[in-house]
Amino acid sequence: MQLSVLDDPYHNYLIAPDPGRAGLSRRVQGFDEAGQPVETSVVEERPLTIYLNTREIVTAMTIGDYPEYLALGFLANQGMLAPEDEVTGIDFDEELEVVVVRTAVETDHEAKLEKKTRTSGCAVGTVFGDMMAGLEGLTLPKAELRTSWLYALSHKINRTPSLYLEAGAIHGTVLCQGDRPLVYMEDVGRHNAVDKIAGWMRAEGAGPEDKILYTTGRLTSEMVIKTALMGIPVLASRSGFTAWGVEIAQEVGLTLIGRLRGKRFVCLAGEERLIRDSDLGAVPEEDRKHRRKGAGP
């Protein structure tokens, strides 16, 4: 049977999750609530140390895929790598678990940085405290957002085979354009997944003005800040909001969509971009078997 566009989970992805990729998860033995032996998949977690030229910046806990994108995106999202900084190379040493981003000229940030450690915990804040400074004078593109795109994206993304569906305990972030999901990244920390997206965008020269960022995680202040600094005008999630995240989105003019499940969603900022072109009576409720569970909000 031929699949429709909505039923084909890999339709038009540039990068899709690869849950079968070696090293991302492993099978472990345990016991269930009745004391019966069970076997389950668990996500691997490993350190990755990021250098900017000769300066050690941070050690992040990550699943280990796309380290070059993670390093590039992290440095860009933290404001350590400006758009005008010329990246001359990115070197990854798998054995040492180190990635080095090299620039043509030493950046302004290297001299003032001390070593920091960034964990995979969902409550961890930004490692550096000056991200808010990048929002001053920021103007996001006046893009449109059709509700039909939101429903189509939710349908496709939630049916895409992923490491989350294989093992849980992981977050996903998807860069989208219209109703098309383009790049789907996963990691133990939702911020890592966003940084991988940012790294891919910088490496590929992908413009943000017509993009949507979809995340499985909470719409926190840092998620809003990173999306805005990336120049993406729309951030959507299945999960909920924090008050500061909403406040920042309203201040910078970011369209913020949360609790996107089935035909339901809530827009708490940037409603002027919304074009309600869907017949809600024709939008199906979310199938229980496709509801994401276990990764946390």
Regarding predicted confidence, which is higher, 106 or 179? 179
The Cα 260–Cα 81 span in angstroms is 33
pLDDT, residue 249, reads 96
Strands 234-237 and 25-31 come out as unpaired
Beta bridge partners of 214: 174, 236
Kindly tell me if the per-residue pLDDT of 281 is higher than 60.
yes
The Cα 271–Cα 269 span in angstroms is 6
| % of the chain with per-residue pLDDT over 90 | 62
The Cα 246–Cα 257 span in angstroms is 10
Kindly tell me if the per-residue pLDDT of 287 is higher than 70.
no
Question: How many Å separate Cα 163 from the centre of its chain?
Answer: 14
Please give the mean pLDDT across all residues of the chain: 86
pLDDT in tens, 178-195: 999 999 999 998 889 999
pLDDT grade, residue 119 (50/70/90)? very low
pLDDT, residue 288, reads 58
Domains of the chain: 46-119 (3.10.20.10), 145-290 (3.40.140.10)
| Over residues 100-120, mean pLDDT | 67
pLDDT in tens, 7-65: 444 457 999 998 888 889 899 999 999 999 999 999 999 999 999 999 998 899 999 99
Half-sphere exposure of 61 (CA within 13 A, CB side): 14
Half-sphere exposure of 96 (CA within 13 A, CB side): 9
